[in-house]
């Protein structure tokens, strides 16, 4: 173990801090697709169209606030359906997370990976303009990752919103994606 302090300890004075909108991109959608379905030879867009009843059913309960409708792909190997990859976003108190959930044809979770994690100052996150810049970023744009501000220690952030989001997507599978009998 080797340690060097970077902050002047004992000083109650203001310390230099990154006033950073901390953001990390972990994976692209393509990487998440390949990681979850290594045997797939294609991913077919499955645009989501919900009936009013389905939307109401999904909106019930303590579902996390979603920024936009989830994006869904069906993983294919030739004529065979391997399962689904769903990309969704959730917003917490100070962070926005986009994530990819991979489900097999029975709705069982194959993989769950965070694509992008973004922090911001409290109020900003509720602004439509701020949300809009977040939506759609995941796929291509790579965010600047400042290597100096990785390894952040601090009070534990709950991932309740992410858990709620996953629960909602599993519901979505049951209501919309699951093959109807036979």
Would you say 35 or 69 has its CB closer to other proteins? 35
Of the candidates 90, 94, 92, 93, the one whose C-alpha atom is nearest the C-alpha of residue 115 is 90
Q: Given the complex with other proteins, which of 4 and 144 has the nearer CB atom?
A: 4
What secondary structure letter does DSSP report for 66? Answer: B
Question: 136: closest CA among 28, 46, 23?
Answer: 28
Min dist CB 22 to other proteins, Å, is 7
Q: Does 17 bind other proteins (CB under 8 A)?
A: yes
**Which residue, 106 or 148, is less far from other proteins as judged by CB?**
148
123 binds other proteins (CB under 8 A): no
Q: Characterize the bridge pairing of strands 23-25 and 80-91.
A: unpaired
How far is it, in rounded angstroms, from Cα 46 to Cα 128? 26
Give residues in contact with other proteins (CB under 8 A).
1-13, 15-22, 24, 26-27, 35, 93-94, 97, 112-114, 117, 119-122, 148-159, 162-163, 166
């Amino acid at each position: 173990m080797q340690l060097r302090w970077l902050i002047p300890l004992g000083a109650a004075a203001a310390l230099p801090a990154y006033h950073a909108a901390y953001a990390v991109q972990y994976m692209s959608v393509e990487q998440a697709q390949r990681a979850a379905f290594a045997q797939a030879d294609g991913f077919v867009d499955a645009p989501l169209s919900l009936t009013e009843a389905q939307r109401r059913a999904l909106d019930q309960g303590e579902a996390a606030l979603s920024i936009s409708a989830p994006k869904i792909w069906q993983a294919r190997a030739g004529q065979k359906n391997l399962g689904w990859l769903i990309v969704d976003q959730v917003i917490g108190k100070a962070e926005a997370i986009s994530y990819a959930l991979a489900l097999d044809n029975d709705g069982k979770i194959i993989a769950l990976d965070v694509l992008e994690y973004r922090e911001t100052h409290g109020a900003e996150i509720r602004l439509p303009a701020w949300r809009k810049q977040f939506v759609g970023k995941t796929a291509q744009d790579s965010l600047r990752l400042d290597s100096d501000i990785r390894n952040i220690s601090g009070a534990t952030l709950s991932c309740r919103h992410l858990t709620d989001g996953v629960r909602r997507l599993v519901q979505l599978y049951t209501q919309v994606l699951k093959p109807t009998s036979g």
